[in-house]
Amino acid sequence: MKAQFTKSKKLYKIAQGLMPGGVNSPVRSFNAVGGSPVFISKAKGAYTYDEDGNKYIDYMSSWGPLILGHSDVDVVRAIKQAAERGTSYGAPCADEVVMAKLIVKSFPGIDMVRMTNSGTEATMSAVRLARAYTNRDYIVKFEGCYHGHADYLLVQAGSGATTFGTPSSPGVPKSFTDKTLLAKYNDIESVEKLFKKYGDKIATVILEPVAANMGVIPPQKDFLENLRKITKKNGALLIFDEVITGFRLSMGGAQKYFGVIPDITCLGKIIGGGLPVGAFGASRKIMSIVAPLGPMYQAGTLSGNPLAMAAGLATLDKLNKNSNYTKLRDLTNSLVGGLEDIIRKLEIKASINSLESMFTMFFTEPAPHDYKTALASDTKKYSKFFENLLSTGIMFPPSQFEAVFLSLSHTEKDVDKTLNALYKSLKDL
């Protein structure tokens, strides 16, 4: 029976009169894939349920945070217990210390950490820190990488900015972005050229160590190592934006996974277990200039709030057990392997980039290795594919330029069901 979306459509109509695009974040709208977004009423484990009672196997994981799956029993209990002790004190609490200790212990590049309320705040603070520490103004980012919506980072940005074709947003004065230099992902020469020209004026190079906002694009051999070398040589700080990869690729994120240690690390998503969160951390020496210890100002009413700490800690405690990363990787590989067989069998022009428990299937080949090759994807085909999948109860991200995430709640049975739906959705193209 064809899925009905009556209630979602009704809600969307009202929402559009009250919120821009009817959503609180652009990527949730289905603008990139057509149709109106489904409104989720509840979620449990690997499944979400919309207002019309349709059930989905969820591969969005709320854009990354829900690595255990939705409303995990221990996470919900931790939030409830924390809420009964109060929701925010405006004063330090013990769980902030426990979270800081866990982050410092897990990330080789972090001796000291500051919590924030979003990934955007984390990267915004990290760039300010790098500029303050080096007393330099220029920053280097990569086309297609997305670091949240701070003005000077919304330049050739990925995620929703690319999805909706506004990689550089209006409303950002030229003077705010003329110190933001652009390099090409996986192209070290493009970075060397910038250092040749701006050398000792560059405060930092910021990147997603595995790009996931132009779809998943892993770093090619030696790319991260060479970035580490060139920044060190020029006295610039290397920032890894691990908002997605932190605790996703391993308990020490991409820096542990690839063995390349940045000067500053940004975190988010998983560390909040689905509640608003972000963090940035570095060596004691670099963090010593952050207020109130040092002069670089940074603050947040709800930074490190007890609920997000409780949800994050419950998530991380559970994650770091009985070889969960191997389970996540093996389950993802069986889904990706099956999908590759389907692509071959149906002779579809598509390719997959996959790493640990995240992947993207691109309607282009060969598999993209940078922004330009990612943009070659057939987004119209992706829209039709997304819609076909949705109607069979599988929720992929509503954009070609996002990542599919697996959680510890997904099972082989879910993967088999998903592969059947993928076969039908792709065959129907």
Shortest separation between residue 198's beta carbon and ligand KE4, angstroms: 24
Shortest separation between residue 56's beta carbon and ligand KE4, angstroms: 18
Cβ atoms of residues 168 and 157 within 8 Å: yes
From 146, 257, 325, 382, the catalytic residue: 146
Token pair listed for 114: 């500051």
- In the complex with ligand KE4, which residue's Cβ is closer, 27 or 181? 27
- In the complex with ligand KE4, which residue's Cβ is closer, 64 or 306? 64
**Cα–Cα distances in angstroms (integers) from residue 190 to residues 186, 197, 264, in the given order:** 9, 11, 22
Q: The tokens 């390349």 sit on which residue? A: 260
Query: How far apart are the two ends of the chain, measured CA to CA in Å?
Result: 20
Q: What are phi and psi of 24, to 5 degrees?
A: -100, 0
Tell me, yes or no, if 146 is annotated catalytic. yes
Q: The tokens 């996931």 sit on which residue? A: 212
- In the complex with ligand KE4, which residue's Cβ is closer, 72 or 208? 208
Q: What are phi and psi of 69, to 5 degrees?
A: 110, 175
Separation between Cα atoms, residue 160 and residue 243, nearest integer Å: 16
Tell me which residues touch ligand KE4 (CB under 6 A).
25, 27, 63, 118-120, 123, 146-148, 159-160, 208, 213, 241, 243-244, 268, 278, 402
Tell me, yes or no, if 241 is annotated catalytic. yes
From 50, 72, 241, 370, the catalytic residue: 241
Cβ atoms of residues 231 and 383 within 8 Å: no
The residue number whose beta carbon is nearest to ligand KE4 equals 119
Separation between Cα atoms, residue 311 and residue 82, nearest integer Å: 9
Beta-carbon contacts of residue 344 (< 8 Å; ≥ 6 apart)? none
Q: Using omega within 30 degrees of 0 as the cis cutoff, is the peptide bond preceding 306 cis?
A: no
From 56, 269, 318, 371, the catalytic residue: 269
- In the complex with ligand KE4, which residue's Cβ is closer, 95 or 208? 208
Shortest separation between residue 244's beta carbon and ligand KE4, angstroms: 5
Tell me, yes or no, if 269 is annotated catalytic. yes
- In the complex with ligand KE4, which residue's Cβ is closer, 213 or 234? 213
The residues annotated with a catalytic role in the active site are 146, 241, 269
